[in-house]
A and B are shown apart, each in its own frame.
Chain A
Amino acid sequence: MADSSPQDYPTIIGPDANFKGELTFEKGMRIHGRMEGKITTTGRVHVAKEAKLQADVEAGSLLVEGEIHGSLVASDRIELKSSARYEGDLRANKLVVEEGAVFTGHVSVGPEAVKAGQPKVTVQVARQPGGAVPQPARVG
């Protein structure tokens, strides 16, 4: 994956970059630098060897070679390469861990794990004084 074309990862955070905040994109991103915050995408995220993340990541798939602190959620797969260092909770459809990867945290892997993490729609009915008909409120 490291030899993939630039089209696969149109967004790149370079090795001298330091990013703080929320990041949303569609296709793919490669991170070589430091990042703090949140990443949301349906595409791919590649955390390169020299990258350091303190972030919650929600992505389609994730390839980790660097260091991450935070929660990872992938609708497809998470790959932890032998150089990966990871601390946090992990939820994915598929997990591939190479020998040598270091990680701690709660792991939830399988098709059910991703489904279980999706937000549930609940209906709250508030009781109103005076016998008025309560209006259901949708909470996402």
Chain B
Amino acid sequence: MAIPLEPIADSPTGDDRAIIVCLHCGQSQPASRKALSVVCKFCHKSLRLEDLPIKDYQARRSVETCGIVTVEKKGQIVADRVLCGGMVIRGKVKATITSRGAVLVGPDAEIKGDVLAPSLAVGAGAILEGQYRIGYPTPPRPRPN
């Protein structure tokens, strides 16, 4: 299952639940570890919690999950934006990436687009092009009025 998996302290069912952080408003909240999606109780937006492996070409408007997006060697994402809890890239990505967790880039990966992430690890040989902002906490997006 997805990232932030800290058990809730002093909770009788602490093992079954995990704290998740909303991709849209940045608020944290508990969710069942078995849940595949939840609705954020602060901004009421739907949140996908499962990990997302990309093994082939995928063109979408946006890719959003609180879990980890893994782009395999033969995988390719073409999207306006990727919002995720973490990312592992071994293939190609053409999108603006906003990750709440680490972005790991393999040596054969190719990224075209801006990247905003708390940490980045790049293997020698990767091809990157874009505006990068690494190591700063991801700011929550402003709520619409």
Contact = CB atoms under 8 A, between A and B. Distances in A.
Contacts of B131: 105-107
B120 A106 contact: no
Interface stretch (B25-33, B89-97, B121-129): B121-129
Contacts of B126: 94-95, 109-110
Given A98-B121, A99-B120, A101-B120, A109 B127 contact: yes
Contacts of B123: 96
Taking residues whose C-beta sits less than 8 angstroms from the other chain, chain A's interface range is 20 to 34
A102 interface: yes
A30 interface: no
Contacts, number: 61
A98 B120 CA distance: 7
Contact of B124 (A94, A98, A104, A113): A94
B106 to A, nearest CB: 12
Contact of B120 (A97, A112, A113): A97
Nearest to B102: A99
Interface of A is mostly: strand
Interface stretch (B38-46, B76-84, B132-140): B132-140
Contacts of B124: 77, 94-96
Interface string A82-106: 0000000000001111111111111
A103 B127 contact: no
A133 to B, nearest CB: 43
A34 B78 CA distance: 43
Interface in A56-70: none
Contact of B134 (A96, A102, A113): A102
Nearest to B105: A97
A82 to B, nearest CB: 9
B130 interface: yes
A-B complex: 7 closest residue pairs judged by Cβ atoms: A102-B135, A110-B127, A109-B128, A94-B124, A99-B119, A97-B122, A107-B132
Interface of A: 77, 94-110, 112-113
